[in-house]
Structure 1
């Protein structure tokens, strides 16, 4: 009987220690990817500006730098279209990730380059599936791409009253209370 309890205690501490090592490993990967360029496979598309890649057998959540896409949650117009566009540009591919920093949700903010050597972040704006996220980006290339997409009425710019995702989130958040 006593031997059984010791075995159970041993297993309990062993598995908890394994989880702690995994948590430390994940943190180390995050720290190492800030300001790093690496290749990884795109394994999941969450919405128009968020994906998951597999890097050294570790899933890394990535938020595309410089852009903001319509919200999939809350059914913002073009939200699902943006997710499909991002998937068409890079899902299942080995991409180059240019990590910049981490956001408050521990997602790596990055620029993604696909197998066709396209800058995916810029392609999303060219296709009219994203806004230039001026609150976090002063990059004039993205600003010019948005101006051009608006002028040509591409994608979400077909709607003359398109609501920016940050404004959409603000309105949706107020309705919860």
Structure 2
């Protein structure tokens, strides 16, 4: 039986399932970001030459054809492309938090930075016991970004990606 979180497309290119049983944030692997696929999806190459497609936990960036979609991808690319990162997983969901590995400065929690800069919404997760994780940091980051009108919040007509998809405006 496949791990249920593999179907979430969070670690699509993993050469082997990485079972995570705790609901805490757990380091899973580290590697170099070799591709930024969109504003909340990256590809990380590990030292063993494996690669993992990683969905940023708790974030939902605008779609590519949506206002701020290309800007979100560009911002994420500037932050992580060709940089060393540590990927942590929450629960058995496969959703991950990515921190940059930088010994000179405090590590950046990429997920939080995307939301606080106004390039992603915090993702309203379904009422599922496996997903009951403290998202207060992301909630506060979004509230601050909205209040400061940064990034996508500079537009009064900002539409969440899940609403954009419902309206049939996204090709994906």
TM-score by length of 1: 0.73
RMSD: 2.5
Superposed displacement of residue 175, structure 1: 9.3
What does 1:113-132 align with in structure 2 at a 5 Å threshold? 113-114=99-100, 115=102, 116=105, 117-132=107-122
**Relative contact order, CA 8 A, sep 6+: which one is greater?**
2
Is 1:111 matched up with 2:97? yes
Alpha carbons 1:101, 1:110 under 8 Å: kept: no
What does 1:53-92 align with in structure 2 at a 5 Å threshold? 53-55=44-46, 56-72=48-64, 75-92=65-82
Say which structure is richer in helix: 1
Is 1:42 matched up with 2:33? yes
Summarize the Cα distance change of 1:37–1:27 in structure 2 as closer, same or farther, 3 Å threshold: closer
TM-score by length of 2: 0.75
Partner of 2:139: 143
Structure 1 gap ranges (5+): 1-25
- The structure 1 segments of at least 4 consecutive aligned residues displaced by more than 6 Å after TM superposition are 173-176
User: Bigger radius of gyration, 1 or 2?
Assistant: 1
Superposed displacement of residue 94, structure 1: 0.9
Number of aligned positions between the proteins? 145
Structure 2 gap ranges (5+): 1-12, 127-132
Summarize the Cα distance change of 1:69–1:27 in structure 2 as closer, same or farther, 3 Å threshold: closer
Superposed displacement of residue 126, structure 1: 1.1
